[in-house]
């Protein structure tokens, strides 16, 4: 059985966390996660300004994805209760971009790494060949989460980031799954300014 065709964001649990789908009741949490300007600094979208924008974001990103046969878009909640404190997502097509974000109040506690590991285990079971993740060089904390997940740094590239429209140097990490051994070279080929850094 190909689980990618049978499952879309199945619930997961870790020692401290519950990973589940977002629901309409989570729209206030969606607003809290995506409206914080500091937390949004390294996200491609502009911060949400109103609860109406949060409702639109929920419908466009989450409700639409959950109606499809496969997907990975988790709300991350504490086992002790309460609404979502962050998210973990993965695209289900190449380059299988893996991303995460958390409310600022929950930074520095290892939640991102814990949630990401659980999601990566499910993605491997679902049959993905690999996942990639990128971070702004000015956001090294995100790179630490990638390394904690077992991802390997592959290369860096410069992109004129949209819609914010400013240049960003991204570092690309990859975790190979299910016997895959190659490196995804799509960003390297797309962006002329690319290079390999010495990453400590």
Position 87 scores a pLDDT of: 96
Of 79, 107, 83, give the one whose Cα is nearest residue 30.
Answer: 83
Per-residue pLDDT at 39: 81
- Alpha helices by DSSP H, listed for the chain, are 3-6, 27-35, 37-40, 51-57, 64-66, 111-126, 140-148, 186-190
Say what the pLDDT of residue 2 is: 42
- For residue 44, the model assigns a pLDDT of 77
Per the CB < 8 A criterion, the answer to whether 129 and 174 are in contact is: no
**Which stretch, 40-44, 83-87, 161-165, has highest mean pLDDT?**
83-87
Residue 78: Cβ within 10 Å count: 14
pLDDT confidence band for 6 (50 / 70 / 90)? low
Dihedral (Cα; 48, 11, 66, 55), 10-degree rounding: -20
Q: How many CB atoms lie within 10 A of CB 84?
A: 23
| pLDDT interval class at 114 (50, 70, 90) | very high
Q: pTM surpassing 0.85?
A: yes
């Amino acid at each position: 059985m190909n689980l990618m065709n049978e499952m879309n964001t199945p619930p997961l649990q870790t020692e401290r966390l519950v990973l589940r789908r977002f629901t309409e009741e989570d729209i206030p949490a969606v607003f809290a996660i995506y409206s914080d300007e500091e937390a949004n600094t390294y996200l491609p979208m502009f911060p949400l300004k109103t609860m109406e924008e949060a409702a639109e974001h929920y419908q466009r990103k989450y409700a639409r994805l959950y109606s499809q046969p496969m997907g990975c878009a988790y709300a991350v909640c504490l086992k002790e209760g309460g609404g979502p404190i962050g998210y973990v997502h993965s695209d289900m097509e190449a380059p299988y971009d893996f991303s995460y974000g958390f409310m600022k109040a929950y930074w520095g506690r290892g939640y991102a790494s814990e949630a990401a590991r659980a999601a990566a285990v499910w993605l491997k079971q679902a049959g993905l060949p690999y996942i990639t993740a990128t971070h702004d060089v000015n956001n090294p904390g995100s790179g630490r989460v990638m390394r904690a997940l077992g991802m390997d740094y592959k290369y860096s590239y410069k992109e004129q980031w949209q819609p914010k429209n400013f240049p960003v140097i991204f570092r690309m990490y990859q975790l190979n799954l299910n016997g895959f051994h190659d490196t995804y070279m799509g960003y390297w080929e797309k962006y002329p300014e690319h290079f390999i850094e010495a990453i400590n």
